Amino acid sequence: MTVTALTTIIILVLSIIMNLPLILPIVYTIAYNVARVTGHIVERDNIKRRIHLPKLTIQIPIKGENPKYIIRNIRSILSSNYPKDRLEIVIISDDERYTYLDIVNTLKETLSRRSLNTIKTLWREIPKGGKAGALNDSLNTCSGDYIVVLDVDSVVDRNYFKNIVRYVGGRRKVVMGTWLAVNTRESILSEALALTQEFMFTTYYKYKYKLSLPIVFAGSGCLIDRSVFDSLGLWDTSIVLEDVEFSLRLLLNNYEVAYTDRAKVYLDVPSNYRSLLIQQSKWAYGSIQLMKKYFKRIITSKSLPWYKKVDILLYLAQYMSSLSMTTLSILIPILILFNLLPLSVLGVFYGILFSSMTVYSILYLRYGLRRGISLIRTLRYMGRVSSVLTFIAPRLALSSLKALLNLSIPRIPTPKGVKVYKYSVSDLKLEILWFLLLLLLVIALLLKYGSLYYILWHLMLISGYLYVFKVMAERKI
């Protein structure tokens, strides 16, 4: 195999991985609409009418959280229409002892005695294993038939519990509710991420579930049959994405994860760059961990048909898009400068990129318009998210590399709230260096070839960086 042929294959594979976050929603949306029109949608909402409602334990792990989020969460639970004698709230704190005691006192001062009777608080003196460890250590304290895991910033809909328990049963050991943003107006970033999150939940959960494709549940807002822990074991404390890891175990053992958009959970989306960076870094790191741990088991699984294996692997691979983007943003110009990349290959790269962007944009705009958002505003949201994800890519690539090399990353909870940081040069040194490197490569290509064709993609990347630098200087994110 020649060097040119090898580089061509590498470029094309990395191009597909880079564009997976665009390609997968396109595939799911088209497949769903074709199945709906042709009458091949599988009706899976065979919900149960429950005369006797099961007891639920709501686990809320906390560390370094503002008490107002804890109280907001508890009040939403107690304001639901589920019988209060069938609810139990367990708060697990990994804070310092004095912080934990302050939280307990705040709860006593703020909540009624009747509300406090529903709540148990636990403090972990040795907080090992992060969120997964907190959930495991508190499980013996839980008396519910089913476990509901909620992040501290969650606000459940009044009908959430009654709606979600109707979907569990048989091989359905876990039910995932839908996520909506509660802090849409906190910043220009949270405003844009709110719509993007809704769009992604529609494609990755609603459409996939209707197509009988495997659902990988997200940790907050899920209901779990307690018996499944006896069958499959506890949460894996060695994996950053403990919810995705548990989903894979369920799927590999022939269990089903159900989804319903009738059970609504409202959560904070990141409102600034730092919060988004912490969240996305964990996802980039955890996806590599899971791919390393489960790739062979997924491929060789006898319980999963081939198309479900492919779907699960593609789901995990999409979080490697930043690593692919970062690699290609350097590899492509270097290969062009040394005349190692045929123009035809660059054309195929552009074809994959721009066709994915175009179709995804049409679907995103269509979704925004159906939500009653104007065309211009939806375009702005899409541009903001795209720019920030471009800006964040080198950091996420670094997290992916750390996972590949088995280097640990700190388990920091995603910061909540509207706080906007004043970023210094030292805070953004990697982003600035990467921006300058892209700029130098663009200049080198222009000097050698004098054609915009070679730098179209890089001009898009640079424009994203300039936008984020601007809104950071204005302290908007």
- Each domain of the chain, given as residue ranges in start order, spans 1-54+145-150+169-477, 62-142
Q: What is the predicted pLDDT for the residue at 315?
A: 97
Range 338-363 average pLDDT: 96
Element (H, E) at 224: strand 222-225
Is the confidence at residue 48, as pLDDT, over 80?
A: no
Range 2-14 average pLDDT: 88
Q: Is 132 exposed, middle or buried (0-12, 13-18, 19+ CB in 10 A)?
A: buried
Mean pLDDT of all residues belonging to the chain: 94
Range 107-134 average pLDDT: 94
Q: Which residue has the tokens 């390393």?
A: 292
Q: What is the predicted pLDDT for the residue at 39?
A: 85
Each residue's pLDDT tens digit, 387-438: 999 999 999 999 999 999 999 998 888 877 666 567 888 889 999 999 999 9
Q: What is the predicted pLDDT for the residue at 418?
A: 61
Each residue's pLDDT tens digit, 132-163: 999 999 999 999 999 999 999 999 999 999 99
Strand 172-181, strand 256-267: pairing: parallel
Kindly report which listed range (95-99, 217-221, 326-330) carries the lowest average pLDDT score.
Answer: 217-221
What gap in Å lies between CA 94 and CA 138, rounded to an integer?
Answer: 12
Q: What is the predicted pLDDT for the residue at 419?
A: 61
Q: Confidence band (pLDDT; 50, 70, 90) for 32?
A: very high
pTM of the predicted model over 0.85? yes
Q: What is the predicted pLDDT for the residue at 415?
A: 78
Total length of the chain: 477
Range 164-182 average pLDDT: 92
Q: Where are the alpha helices (DSSP H) in 85-236?
A: 97-110, 113-116, 130-137, 160-164, 188-201, 208-210, 227-232
Residues ≥6 apart with Cβ < 8 Å to 321: 17, 18, 19, 20, 21
Q: Confidence band (pLDDT; 50, 70, 90) for 382?
A: very high
What gap in Å lies between CA 328 and CA 285, rounded to an integer?
Answer: 19
Is the confidence at residue 5, as pLDDT, over 90?
A: no
Each residue's pLDDT tens digit, 205-230: 999 999 999 999 988 999 999 999 99
Is the confidence at residue 50, as pLDDT, over 70?
A: no
Q: Which residue has the tokens 């006192």?
A: 105
Q: With contact defined as beta carbons under 8 Å apart, do 181 and 194 qualify?
A: yes
Percent pLDDT > 90 in the chain is 88
State both tokens at 277.
């960076």
Q: What is the predicted pLDDT for the residue at 49?
A: 62
Q: Confidence band (pLDDT; 50, 70, 90) for 47?
A: low
Beta bridge mates, 460: none
What gap in Å lies between CA 239 and CA 204, rounded to an integer?
Answer: 22
Q: What is the predicted pLDDT for the residue at 169?
A: 84
